[in-house]
Structure 1
Amino acid sequence: MSETTLYILIVVNLLIVTGLGIYILRLVRQQKQKRIDAELKLQKIAAEVRDHRLHIIESLQVISRAILNEEIPLTEAGIRCKVLLDNLDPQLAQSEAYIVFNEVFEQSKHIPRMEAWKRLKGPEKLEYMAQMNTLENDYSDQVISAAKCLLVQDFNRYH
């Protein structure tokens, strides 16, 4: 093998090694950028979840105060609290203090809501309103007690 051929092979190998080194560096940078992007996305999602939980907690407290101030029908309040508690923590929703919300929800789920309620005729509404009044009479004390519990509930673990 001549000296010229040897130098050519050395140069070719150096070019190959340099090219592979540059390729590896690019891959490492891409992976690092992907990791950074994933971490930022995860932080954004965590912030959204935290904000959503805070909104649920605030809503539960607002509804609880409205219950105690008699500003909201207890049937509606029970339904809203049940849904919010289920979204926040299904185990908490099943706790003894808040099980009344499930009861009110279950016993009122046949009653039309929102647009369906608006489409009802007068006599139909009166029939459902009578059922809601019965529910409210039966569960009034328990719903008020649950509302008081919500106002003193420690929600710090949900932040």
Structure 2
Amino acid sequence: MNPIIIATLAIIFALSVIVILSIKAFRILSQLKQQNKDTSGLKIQEKADLLMSIQDLAQNMLNNNLNITEGSIRIKVLLDHLDPQKKVRDDFLVFYELYSATEHMPRHKDRDKYTCDDLKIYDDEREKIEIKFQKRIFDACRKISDYEFNL
């Protein structure tokens, strides 16, 4: 066979492979771009859901429908998820302070391990802490409804 024909066929084959791989790469790139759009949309929706939950908890505390300690713990946890870089932590430090002041206390199922007398001691301590923090917690709850969470 003529060497020129072999070289031409090799070039045509190489160009065909390049075209096929380019098409494949373009499709993969398009899929990745779409996934990134979907993911960023999901992140925006997740943040909106977290913010809505934080606002609902704050309003329930202001309406005395939610215990201050329970609401503060929930808000603290949601703020940690909403703002992992802790950009807004200083603006809502009171939730973190109340969390720290009560984190040694038994919660939920852990309360089953204690006697009624022990629980009474913890509950009395918690109520004193709530009185101490109440004004600052309520101020922070009111602040949440108008706060610009630029995350």
TM-score, normalisation: structure 2: 0.90
- In the TM superposition, 1:3-14 aligns within 5 A as 8-14=2-8
- CA deviations on 1:104-135 (whole Å, 9 max, x unpaired) are 01101111223223443322222221111011
Q: State the shift of 1:70 in Å.
A: 0.2
Sequence identity (%): 19
Is it true that 1:66 corresponds to 2:57 in the alignment? no
Q: Of the candidates 87, 92, 98, which is equivalent to residue 91 of structure 1?
A: 87
1:149 deviates by 0.2
Tell me whether 21-30 or 37-46 shows the greater mean CA deviation: 37-46
Match of 2:121 in 1: 127
User: Which has the higher Rg, Structure 1 or Structure 2?
Assistant: 1
1:144 paired to 2:108: no
1:34 aligned to which of 6, 28, 32: 28
Structure-to-structure mapping, 1:101-112, within 5 angstroms: 101-112=95-106
Give the structure 2 partner of residue 45 of structure 1.
Answer: 39
Q: Say which is worse superposed, 85-94 or 68-77, in terms of deviation.
A: 85-94
Task: Give the TM-score, by structure 1 length.
Answer: 0.86
The 5 Å alignment of 1:20-31 reads 20-31=14-25
Report deviation, 1:49. Answer: 1.2
Aligned length: 149
* In structure 1, C-alpha distance between the alignment counterparts of 2:119 and 2:65, rounded to whole Å: 20
Distance 1:42 1:110, change over 3 A: same
Match of 2:12 in 1: 18
Structure 1 stretch 120-129 or stretch 75-84: which is displaced more?
120-129
Cα distance between partner residues in 1 of 2:72 and 2:139 = 12
- The one-character-per-residue Cα deviations of 1:39-59 (angstroms, maximum 9, x if unpaired) are 122122212211211111001
Q: Which residue of 2 aligns with 1:56?
A: 50
Residue of structure 1 in register with 2:108 after alignment: 114
Which ranges in structure 1 are unaligned for 5 or more consecutive residues? none
